[in-house]
């Protein structure tokens, strides 16, 4: 099968087959990352612009590495403030970047739907590196790649996502991706951070559980979200110490989970707030594996968006 | 259809005439003399030597009255002017439009009321009734000069766009407005509950990752304002009602004898929050497009008379204003030109609303709500009329938009039923027929 989409706006818009294709392709690219010479010519001659309207360390470096590993030409643009505050509209900025003959725009933006909006104007492909509180598809893909390598399949697997669900684009993309591939998702977090009707999101199999111990009791993996204080326009929590008491994952909370339960975190972590030191560094944590897989997952996305088909040549 | 034009006296013959006061549509002929309705003969033809406009197959009704539009002048002439807004209104069948006070400068001084009326007289497209600010500078604290504003021509008072959060100020405003029997038009929104909100709070806001505007934020405000209207005995009009809960409060208040009226917009009656999945900024309005239960309750309230009128909340914004990320786009859509066609297509032809009721909600309903002239077919009244072909199928094209702004999600939409033109004091105005 060939990936026919021009843009990657979110996992909601992809079929299970398309998600599987990305994960399979990522698996092939992951081998490249273990080689001595970690570079393939797959995107030679392709120019990618990383346009970041929000601060990012991991995602931006990960994309840039993925692009370089694929031999793409890379330019970076970052602006901490919104385009509106700057006086130039987002449309103007990105159209200017496109005018420099860019093929793919990787964009992070604080406004939900910003990528959808830009796709109305751009001929270049758009890859969503996070839009507001909507989707962060490549994060979910790398999370899923990590789980797939351990499990082989998602059918019947249970993943619990813990934290600020309301403001989390990671949660939304994970819900879409995991449920499309047959996993069940349990959401756990304070009700002030649980958006209305979230159980209806995804393709069935989403539930909400406010008791952390119950929420992890049958989990094959838990994904712990960062408490994003900068996204809160009202105080939704009394304090971080109370948060840790109720929803923080420490040794005691993890004892409620099955032995084989994996611990994930999209980073950056607030140790002592949503996750304890022991758990973050513990043997169930696959947090750094996620980071490695991020490069492979993004290589796969960029490669497929650029119209690539997996041929032996591409990964030689 | 030539000879009657520009004549001081002529018959409009053969039309179906919608009489909202009598709640009837009957065949009839209407005599216009010196700009006024002279006589209505409830028969298909007239035997006369006077010029005759043959309106066979057409629907003739009192001209529409909009109690809620933003004409943006003064201050935002890049979005709309009184001239362009009223041109769009006339094309939509409106012979009278009330314009909101959130201009720049704000309509909190008699000179601004006079300015708008002058611009309207120059444009001469339809009647314009300015609504003045309820509080100075729309600040929500100090009431404006109601008597001076009324004498200048203001017909109602509103801080539309903002709810008066201070309950004491609202009580004062209602009490003071009551002395002049001026209706107070309230935009009901608890702003703290809607901070940064982009759309209706529900499954769709969760799905799209846009901050939600809960129904309760409107209902809390409606409830308080109704109680203050009861306390003061003054006239309260609720702007753009959008939730099932608000309808419930309104119904109970009316039953209890509170002097309260309410309007609903064409978009809240026909569009829901699921349409926002494209992040189309033209669908961003305030209050936001709601869900199916709310829409059903609003439609039921139209039928049972709980809601008094349909108002457009015509809110022009330029293409540049709207060509930004969803959360930076200002809320509002234009609606004067399409209100009838949209509602006729989606509510009347589907059997949800009788045609005569739609006409009443666009004419007598709004006129009575704000105590305006018009909306009736009475001998002696100005001949402000609308002529409609209820069978005409047409497509709303972008090029046909008369408003200066084009922020509507309805471009390209096929409608059944089209306003052919209006008579303003007996003078024919039409953009599609030259008469």
pLDDT tens digits for range B61-106: 999 999 999 999 999 999 999 999 999 999 999 999 999 999 999 9
So what's the ipTM on this one?
0.93
Cα B86 from Cα B70, distance rounded (Å)? 10
Q: Is A272 left (phi over 0), alpha (psi -120 to 50) or beta?
A: left
Does A230 or B351 have the greater pLDDT score?
B351
Is the pLDDT confidence value at A88 over 80? no
Q: Rounded mean pLDDT of chain A?
A: 92
Residue in the block written with tokens 């026909």: B270
Contact residues, chain B to chain A, C-beta under 8 Å: 195-196, 198, 201-203, 205-212, 278-279, 281, 320, 323-328
Q: Which has the closest alpha carbon to B270: B161, B399, B415, B422?
A: B415
Cα B247 from Cα B307, distance rounded (Å)? 8
Bridge partners, residue B416, by sequence = B393
Contact residues, chain A to chain B, C-beta under 8 Å: 12, 82-84, 89-91, 109, 111-114, 116-117, 131-135, 169, 172, 195-198, 200-201, 233-234
Cα B366 from Cα B308, distance rounded (Å)? 7
Using a CB-CB cut-off of 8 Å, the residues of chain B touching A134 are 208-210
The confidence band for A312, taking pLDDT boundaries of 50, 70 and 90, is: low
> Going by C-beta distance under 8 Å and a sequence separation of 6 or more, which residues neighbour residue A262?
A146, A147, A150, A220, A221, A222, A284, A285, A286
The alpha-carbon gap from A164 to the nearest alpha carbon of chain B, in Å, equals 13
- Which DSSP category does B412 fall into? T
Query: Which alpha helices (H) appear in chain A, and where do they start and end?
Result: 16-33, 58-69, 83-86, 90-99, 114-119, 137-151, 169-180, 212-216, 240-247, 251-255, 277-280, 287-305, 312-315
Is the pLDDT confidence value at A316 over 80? no
> Going by C-beta distance under 8 Å and a sequence separation of 6 or more, which residues neighbour residue B251?
B301, B306
Element containing residue B386 per DSSP (H, E): strand B385-395
Nearest by CB to residue B326, choosing from A83, A113, A200, is A113
Q: Are A225 and A171 in contact (CB under 8 A)?
A: yes
Residue in the block written with tokens 């008791």: A211
Give whole-number Cα distances, B41 to B13, B45, B64, in Å: 9, 9, 22
What pLDDT is attached to residue A82? 53
Q: Are B215 and B298 in contact (CB under 8 A)?
A: no
What pLDDT is attached to residue B3? 66
Collapse the DSSP code of A221 into the 3-class scheme (helix H, G, I; strand E, B; otherwise coil) and give the result. Answer: strand
Choose the mutation target among B190, B193, B209 for the interface with A, i.e. most A CBs under 10 Å.
B209
Arithmetic mean of pLDDT, B179-195: 97
Arithmetic mean of pLDDT, A113-136: 95
First to last CA, chain B: 6
Question: Which tokens belong to B162?
Answer: 């903002």
pLDDT tens digits for range B118-163: 999 999 999 999 999 999 999 999 999 999 999 999 999 999 999 9
pLDDT tens digits for range B341-366: 999 999 999 999 999 999 999 999 99
The confidence band for B1, taking pLDDT boundaries of 50, 70 and 90, is: very low
**pTM here?**
0.94
What pLDDT is attached to residue A73? 97
Q: How far is CA B307 from the centre of its chain?
A: 13
Bridge partners, residue B3, by sequence = none
Is the pLDDT confidence value at B328 over 50? yes
Arithmetic mean of pLDDT, A152-175: 97
Cα B389 from Cα A138, distance rounded (Å)? 54
Q: Rounded mean pLDDT of chain B?
A: 96
The alpha-carbon gap from A231 to the nearest alpha carbon of chain B, in Å, equals 11
Q: Are B160 and B152 in contact (CB under 8 A)?
A: no
What pLDDT is attached to residue A231? 58
Cα B299 from Cα B354, distance rounded (Å)? 12
Cα B385 from Cα A167, distance rounded (Å)? 52
Burial B121-137 (b: 16+ CB within 10 A, else e): eebebbbbbbbbbbbbe
Arithmetic mean of pLDDT, B198-219: 98
The confidence band for A230, taking pLDDT boundaries of 50, 70 and 90, is: low
Does A204 or B282 have the greater pLDDT score?
B282
Burial B60-96 (b: 16+ CB within 10 A, else e): bbbbbbbbbbbbbbbebeebbbbbbbbbbbbbbbbbb
The confidence band for A311, taking pLDDT boundaries of 50, 70 and 90, is: low
Collapse the DSSP code of A269 into the 3-class scheme (helix H, G, I; strand E, B; otherwise coil) and give the result. Answer: coil
What pLDDT is attached to residue B435? 46
Choose the mutation target among B193, B204, B206 for the interface with A, i.e. most A CBs under 10 Å.
B206
The Cβ of residue A52 has, within 10 Å, a number of other Cβ atoms equal to 20
Bridge partners, residue B54, by sequence = B13
Q: Are B405 and B384 in contact (CB under 8 A)?
A: no
Cα B217 from Cα B163, distance rounded (Å)? 11
Percent of chain B residues topping a pLDDT of 70: 99
Percent of chain A residues topping a pLDDT of 90: 77
The confidence band for A55, taking pLDDT boundaries of 50, 70 and 90, is: confident
The answer to whether the CB atoms of B195 and A233 lie below 8 A apart is yes
């Amino acid at each position: 099968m060939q990936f026919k989409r021009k843009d990657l706006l979110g996992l909601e818009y992809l079929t299970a087959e398309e998600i599987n294709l990305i994960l399979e392709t990522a698996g092939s690219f992951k081998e490249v990352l273990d080689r001595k010479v970690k570079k393939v010519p797959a995107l030679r001659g392709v120019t990618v612009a990383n346009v970041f309207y929000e601060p990012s360390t991991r995602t931006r470096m990960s994309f840039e590495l993925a692009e370089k590993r694929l031999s793409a030409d890379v330019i970076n643009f970052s602006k901490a403030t919104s385009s509106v505050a700057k006086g130039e509209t987002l449309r103007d900025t990105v159209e200017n970047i496109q005018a420099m003959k860019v093929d793919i725009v990787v964009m992070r933006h604080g406004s939900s739907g910003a990528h959808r909006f830009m796709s109305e104007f751009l001929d270049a492909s758009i890859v969503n590196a996070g839009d507001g509180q909507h989707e962060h598809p490549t994060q979910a893909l790398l999370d899923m790649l990590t789980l797939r390598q351990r499990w082989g399949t998602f059918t019947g697997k249970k993943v619990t996502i813990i934290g600020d669900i309301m403001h989390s684009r990671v949660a939304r993309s994970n819900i879409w991706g995991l449920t499309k591939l047959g996993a069940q998702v349990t959401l756990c977090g304070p009700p002030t951070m649980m958006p209305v009707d979230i159980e209806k999101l995804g393709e069935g199999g989403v539930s909400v559980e406010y008791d952390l111990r119950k929420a992890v009791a049958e989990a094959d993996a838990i994904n712990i979200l960062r408490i994003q204080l900068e996204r809160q326009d009202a105080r939704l929590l009394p304090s971080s110490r109370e948060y840790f008491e109720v929803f923080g994952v420490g040794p005691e909370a993890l004892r409620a989970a099955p032995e084989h339960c994996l611990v994930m975190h999209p980073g950056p972590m607030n140790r002592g707030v949503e996750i304890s030191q022991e758990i973050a560094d513990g043997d169930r944590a696959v947090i750094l594996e996620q980071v490695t897989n991020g490069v492979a997952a993004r290589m796969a996305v960029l490669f497929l968006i650029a119209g690539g088909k997996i041929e032996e040549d591409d990964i030689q | 259809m030539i000879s009657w034009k520009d004549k001081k006296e002529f018959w409009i013959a053969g039309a179906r005439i919608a009489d909202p006061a009598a709640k009837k549509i009957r065949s009839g002929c209407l005599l216009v003399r010196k700009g006024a309705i002279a006589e209505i003969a409830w028969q298909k033809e007239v035997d006369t030597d006077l010029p005759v406009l043959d309106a066979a197959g057409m629907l003739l009704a009192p001209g529409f009255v909009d109690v809620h539009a933003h004409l943006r002048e003064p201050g935002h002439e890049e979005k709309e002017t009184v001239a362009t807004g009223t041109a769009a209104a006339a094309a939509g069948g409106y012979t009278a439009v009330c314009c909101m006070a959130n201009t720049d400068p704000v309509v909190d001084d008699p000179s601004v009321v006079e300015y708008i009326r002058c611009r309207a007289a120059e444009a001469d497209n339809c009647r314009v009734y300015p609504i003045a600010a309820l509080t100075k500078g729309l600040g929500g604290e100090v009431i404006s000069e109601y008597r001076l504003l009324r004498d200048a021509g203001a017909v109602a008072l509103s801080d539309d766009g903002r709810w008066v959060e201070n309950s004491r100020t609202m009580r004062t405003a209602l009490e003071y407005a009551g002395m002049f029997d001026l209706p107070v038009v309230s935009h009901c929104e608890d702003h703290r509950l809607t901070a940064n909100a982009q759309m209706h709070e529900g499954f769709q806001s969760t799905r799209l990752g846009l901050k939600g505007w809960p129904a309760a934020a409107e209902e809390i405000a409606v409830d308080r304002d109704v109680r203050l209207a009861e306390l003061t005995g003054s006239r309260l009009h609720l702007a753009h009602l959008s939730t099932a809960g608000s309808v419930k409060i309104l119904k109970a208040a009316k039953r209890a004898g509170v002097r309260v009226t309410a309007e609903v917009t064409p978009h809240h009656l026909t569009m829901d929050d699921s349409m926002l999945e494209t992040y189309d900024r033209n669908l961003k309005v305030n209050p936001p497009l709601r869900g199916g239960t709310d829409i059903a309750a609003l439609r039921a309230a139209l039928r049972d008379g709980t809601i008094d009128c349909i108002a457009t909340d015509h809110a022009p914004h330029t293409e540049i204003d709207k060509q930004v990320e969803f959360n930076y786009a200002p809320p509002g859509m234009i609606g004067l030109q399409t209100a009838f066609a949209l509602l006729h297509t989606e509510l009347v032809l589907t059997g949800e609303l009788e045609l005569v009721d739609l006409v009443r909600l666009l004419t007598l309903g709004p006129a009575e709500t704000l105590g305006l002239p018009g909306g009736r077919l009475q001998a002696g009244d100005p001949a402000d009329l609308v002529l409609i072909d209820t069978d005409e199928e047409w497509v709303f094209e972008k090029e046909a938009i008369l408003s200066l702004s084009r922020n509507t999600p309805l471009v390209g939409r096929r409608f059944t039923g089209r306003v052919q033109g209006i008579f303003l004091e007996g003078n024919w105005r039409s953009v599609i027929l030259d008469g």
